[in-house]
Amino acid sequence: MSVNAETASAEPVRGPRAWWVLLALIVGLVGGIVATKSGDGIREPLIQVTSIVGELWLNALKMTVIPLIVALLITGIARTADAARGGRIATVSIAYFLVIFLASAVLGAFFTPVLTGIFPLPPNAADAMQAGLASIGTSAASAAVPSAEDFVRNVVPSNVIAAASNGDVLPLVLFTLVFALAVTRIRDQHRKTLVGFFEGISDALLVVIGWVLAIAPIGVLALAFGLGATAGGGAFAALGYYILLVSGIGVIVTLASYPVAVVAGGLKFGDFSRAVIAPQSVAISTRSSLASLPAMLASARILNIREEVVDVTLPMAVALFRATGPAMNLAVLFYIAEWMGLEPNLPHAIAAVFVAVLMSLSAVSLPGEISFVSSIAPIGIALGIPLAPLALLIAVEMVPDIIRTLGNVTMDVAVTAAVDRRTASRK
């Protein structure tokens, strides 16, 4: 999909106003804490009402996930295959995207548990948050991770419809990947018809998510009230820990852009650092890679990257490439696992890496809160981690989303330099 097409498809979709959602979270948590001190006569009826409202909103958010996985994967694979047909520069760009996606996913899956082991969530905060989940119908007990043997046995689906119905994401993703690859091999007329059909489905579902998120302040307020009433002040500590952990993983990916530019791109560290200041400033202020594209184009030309590479790789990067996505998405889910006392095993971690890479290929340029749901929920289902915490974490996604955009923009310029050097050496 071109940048222009991407912008057009995203235009009707509006995310929630981040400050309103954050305010709803704070008001809900404080309200729940205050209600607890008012006695059960007030607390219990309020928890019953807010839990119903919160669960309805959460279910509305979850109902789009399974069909969205299929639609986004098929259009994402088709879009990537079309881009790879655009010549050597496009092919080399795609290769770099895939390698960095994989490295990013491995970082998120295996380094996040290391960080949580060194700097664990405070025990009182973890216990309080687990208790708080019970108020929205989710508990650690109900979220037991299946055994490695059962997990491996069910990777290949015998019935893809049943897999979708049961929420078995990994078998569904595997089938969809195979189907999407097959779509790229059929006649152009049929391929365009199928891809257009699934693009229409994904666009419609993203609009539905936009509608659900438009009332996010109400849903988050309801969920946060129940959490505050049961978790108390521990909820604030746990959410602060989340922001630091996920943002820290994003900072690591951002810092990795510099050796990519120096080693793979052949640039001087100082030259690259100075050139990316302008796009980084736009990224921080707008949280949009698309809005940062003009500044990225200018910085690439300052670095003397060839025009033909700049004109191909940077727009492709904006449309297809989210370097921080796999790492930070997996960090979110491993944080939830830590929160709930779950320990995903090695097969689950490997599957999470696989799904994270594929969902990153399917990412589109949308407001961070919308892509937060569409990209992370499928990985969470694959890991067997409940999605209820995502509905609360979306309220504080504004800060990590700044780091996401900062890292994406920095890596976009670094990869463009690497593609330039790689293709120039083979001319």
Q: Which of 9-13, 231-235, 370-374 has the lowest mean pLDDT?
A: 9-13
Q: Is 204 helix (H, G, I), strand (E, B) or coil?
A: helix
- Type of residue found at 175: F
Q: How far apart are CA 324 and CA 190, in angstroms?
A: 34
Range of 20-34, 176-190, 266-280, 412-426 with top mean pLDDT: 266-280
To the nearest whole percent, how much of the chain has pLDDT over 70?
83
Query: Is it the case that residue 93 has pLDDT exceeding 80?
Result: yes
pLDDT value of position 58: 81
pLDDT value of position 139: 45
pLDDT value of position 21: 83
Query: Is it the case that residue 171 has pLDDT exceeding 50?
Result: yes
pLDDT value of position 267: 94
Range of 171-180, 239-248, 268-277, 333-342 with top mean pLDDT: 268-277
pLDDT value of position 40: 65
pLDDT confidence tier of residue 130, bands split at 50, 70 and 90? low
Q: How far apart are CA 342 and CA 364, in angstroms?
A: 30
| Angle in degrees, 0-180, between the axes of helices 398-424 and 307-320, rounded to the nearest 10 | 150
Average of per-residue pLDDT across 262-266: 95
Q: Which of 143-152, 172-181, 341-350 has the lowest mean pLDDT?
A: 143-152
Average of per-residue pLDDT across 268-275: 95
341-363 per-position pLDDT tens digit: 777 777 778 888 888 888 887 66
pLDDT value of position 12: 40
* Domains within the chain, CATH numbers bracketed: 3-424 (1.10.3860)
Tell me the Cα Rg of the chain: 22
pLDDT confidence tier of residue 16, bands split at 50, 70 and 90? low
Looking at residue 119, the DSSP 8-state letter turns out to be S
Q: How far apart are CA 174 and CA 180, in angstroms?
A: 10
Helical spans, DSSP H, in 287-345: 289-302, 307-320, 325-340
Residue 253's Cβ-count burial label (10 Å; 0-12, 13-18, 19+) is buried
pLDDT value of position 3: 39
pLDDT value of position 133: 63
Q: How far apart are CA 82 and CA 184, in angstroms?
A: 8
DSSP state letters, 154-203: TSS-S-HHHHHHHT-HHHHHHHHHHHHHHHTTS-HHHHHHHHHHHHHHHH
Both tokens of residue 40?
A: 């059960």
Q: How far apart are CA 388 and CA 62, in angstroms?
A: 9
pLDDT confidence tier of residue 151, bands split at 50, 70 and 90? low
Average of per-residue pLDDT across 89-99: 91
| 363 against 379, higher pLDDT | 379
Average of per-residue pLDDT across 124-144: 57
Nearby residues of 401 by Cβ (< 8 Å), 6 or more positions away: 287, 368, 369, 372
Average of per-residue pLDDT across 329-352: 82
Mean pLDDT over each residue of the chain, to the nearest integer: 81
pLDDT confidence tier of residue 268, bands split at 50, 70 and 90? very high
Per the CB < 8 A criterion, the answer to whether 272 and 350 are in contact is no
- Alpha-carbon distances of 79 from 63, 76, 202, 319, rounded to whole Å: 25, 5, 13, 9
| Angle in degrees, 0-180, between the axes of helices 398-424 and 18-37, rounded to the nearest 10 | 140
Q: Which of 63-67, 196-200, 416-420 has the lowest mean pLDDT?
A: 63-67
pLDDT confidence tier of residue 14, bands split at 50, 70 and 90? very low
